[in-house]
Amino acid sequence: MRIISWNVNGFRAALGKGFVDWLAGCGADVVMLQETKVEPQQLSEAELNPAGYSGVWNWSKGKKGYSGTACFCKTPPLAHSFGLEDPRYRGEGRVVHLEYPDFHLFNIYFPNGQKDEERLAYKLGFYDAFLAQAESLRGAKPIVVGGDFNTAHTEIDLKNAKANEKTSGFLPIERAWLDKFVAHGYVDTFRQFEKGPGHYSWWSFRANARAKNVGWRIDYFFVSDELKDRVKAAWIDPEVMGSDHCPVGVEIV
């Protein structure tokens, strides 16, 4: 199964920047979107369910034009659900959970912690709530999770590590959670194939950062350890434009 994840920074904006043509040519079995910023009633049937795909949409229930996730599926899942089980972390449209025969697939737009200490605490709590849910499901079948994690894990995952040590998205406490996630037996699929620096999935709109490749790798696919030998490929597509993020992908056989 070929799965692609992309924070599109506004689905309707992406539609005006070549998204439909990209989707038709990407060859994915499942496309997972984050930061869609849209509600289904604002879209046409062709936008909700693009040719060849069935759409599964989640959106913010309290704040319009905010957050949101969606999955386009060539093969319908056995089941789907929205949000995390912990009620404290529901309502912002950040999670689509699909169940397939061989694994549970999560599409997640993890919170950003830059606003203030309260929001950083919310982000860390969200991380822990997801891990608890993943571990509870993992006994039945493996886990695949992709999306915008909003944290660069190691110094090679952003261009200017030293300058961002006190910036949310690269704080020691955020990076420590990713260490904990890995210690629980979850594998960063991209790092199975590429160990070097200079590979990013997000660039600021400022200072011509993308052209200079001054970026951060904050979009990931992780698989639980029991699936790692079935990961055939994992990649980043920095040449795909249309958002401040680019798509990332994984192929599982």
Structure tokens belonging to residue 129: 């709530």
CB-based burial label for 101 (10 Å; 0-12, 13-18, 19+)? exposed
In the set 21, 86, 148, 225, the catalytic residue is 148
Q: What is the dihedral of CA 139, 193, 127, 165, to 10 degrees?
A: 150
From the list 225, 3, 230, the residue with the least C-alpha distance to 135 is 225
Which residue type occupies 48? L
Residue identified by tokens 């890995």 is 182
C-alpha span between 198 and 205 (Å, rounded): 18
Cβ neighbours around 189 below 10 Å, total: 25
C-alpha span between 91 and 174 (Å, rounded): 23
Reply yes or no on whether 102 is catalytic: no
Just list the catalytic residues: 148
